[in-house]
Chains A and B, each alone.
Chain A
Amino acid sequence: MQQALSYTNWPPTTTSSVVEVPKLVAENAVVVFARSGCCMCHVVKLLLHGHGVNPTIFDVDEQNEATVTGELSKIIGTGEANTSCMPQFPAVFVGGKLFGGLEEIMAAHISGELVPVLRKARALWL
């Protein structure tokens, strides 16, 4: 599964992007959904790069935000209009499941749990 390294940024087009969301999450080991120009996303990217992972980044902007959020909520399985469980950006998906935001990545990085998770999702080789 080499998709994790095959592309980095996915410039979204307004219609096809939403349809692609579930596919993106299912087919890539690590996907990061973040608002354009978000500095937190930059931090997540750097941390993942440090582990040798090149995540797929999905740019969320004003036009697609609502629909993307809806799609992600479906994937997470919280049902549709449950605003309290709406994903916060940046949102990191590993192995098709929501891993969390920057905090979860940071905590896992410090506790050493991140590497096994990445390995299991085939994002790492070693």
Chain B
Amino acid sequence: MNSTSTQFVPSRRMGLCEPMPQVGMWNDYKENNCLHTSLPVLEVDSRFDNQSEDTSHGTVGPSNKYDQEDSKPVDKVMRRLAQNREAARKCRLRKKAYVQQLENSKLRLMQLEQELERARHQGSYIGGGLDTGQLGYSGTTNPGIATFEMEYGHWVEEQNKKIADLRNALYSDIGDVELGMFVDGGMRHYFDLFAMKATAARADVFYLMSGTWKTSAEHFLSWIGGFRPSELLKVLMPHLEPLTEQRRLELSNLRQSCQQAEDALSQGLEKLHQILSETVADGQLGEGNYLPQISAAMEKLEDMVRFVGQADYLRQETLLQISRNLTTRQTARGLLALGEYFQRLRALSSLWASRPRGSA
């Protein structure tokens, strides 16, 4: 395997390597390439892996081209070998990162396919019975909802980035002020989501409550369109340690307050459920004239929008209250734990959706 045969460098690769310089400079050139490449890591890598394996085995790969090297001092050769190894090691690390990225993308792709499947199924349910066009989850026909779905997709991607940044920030040496910026950014990102949801609720509150825009595991564990604040606190608390007794008590009280507020909202929603049912069923059924009942019910549905808003407001206030009583570092750990919790739920949903189904 001499170096001329390894000059299979695809010419589309940045054109860096087209006219191969004289082989004496081969190693330097390769080193430079390795350090400056980004995406086509695999191609670079396979090329360099070959090369580094050659050199590290000390095989005669380019031996005939290196005749001129024999006469050079040995330490130069040793230096080049060391540089090769270093370059190869770096390339292998980059390859690993790239593969990791690919696997994450694969999960994301599975998620997207799942959502697409769901949207297709729901589209096929419309049209049976009353033809209002807004039956079921008309996400694809409602521009407000279409916008929300797109924005939410971006939100999740942005969230993954923020979580990675937060993790790096926590495990690096940065001071509290800088860390505080990551924390603020993280909190604001959640508040952005609540604002998005408020807009979507006005477009179609049924859609928002149905949770089809979330992954299945997230939806299963959700409460009025999002996370349950008291549950959130339960997930976070172990990661906020060490806590003083006073702080622990405060957080425990907060959890209790959340539960009370959640119960109140849940019961209110139950009442709305009852009232809605009564309103729709009012008067004579079977006579074919139900416009007054439907109109009255429309007003009740407005309250539904407010409920979703109140639930998100409770989430917002809980997050704020948590951060008020903790140090920046603790809040950062809390946000990281929270972010990763949802990442895991999303990954669980993907995995579940793609599990091999048993034979019929």
Question: Which positions in A face B, CB cutoff 8 Å?
Answer: 37-40, 42-43, 46-47, 50, 102-103, 106-107, 109-112
Contacts and interface: CB of A to CB of B under 8 A. Distances in A.
A50 B264 contact: yes
Contact of A43 (B254, B258, B264): B264
B226 to A, nearest CB: 15
Contact of B267 (A46, A107, A110, A111): A46
Interface in B275-299: 275
A39 B257 contact: no
A106 to B, nearest CB: 6
Contacts of B263: 46
B310 A43 contact: yes
Contacts of B261: 47, 106, 109-110
Nearest to B265: A43
Interface in B239-290: 253-254, 257-258, 260-261, 263-265, 267-269, 271-272, 275
Interface string B297-322: 00000010011001001100110010
A102 B265 CA distance: 10
B310 A103 contact: yes
Nearest to A43: B268
Nearest to B324: A111
Given A43-B264, A103-B310, A106-B313, A38 B258 contact: no
Nearest to B254: A110
Contacts of A37: 275
B258 to A, nearest CB: 7
Contacts of A102: 310
Nearest to B267: A46
A111 B310 CA distance: 16
A106 B269 contact: no
Contacts of A111: 317, 321, 324
A110 B265 CA distance: 14
B301 to A, nearest CB: 11
Given A46-B263, A50-B264, A39 B303 contact: yes
Contacts of A107: 313, 317
Contacts of A106: 261, 310, 313-314, 317
A116 B88 CA distance: 67
A92 to B, nearest CB: 14
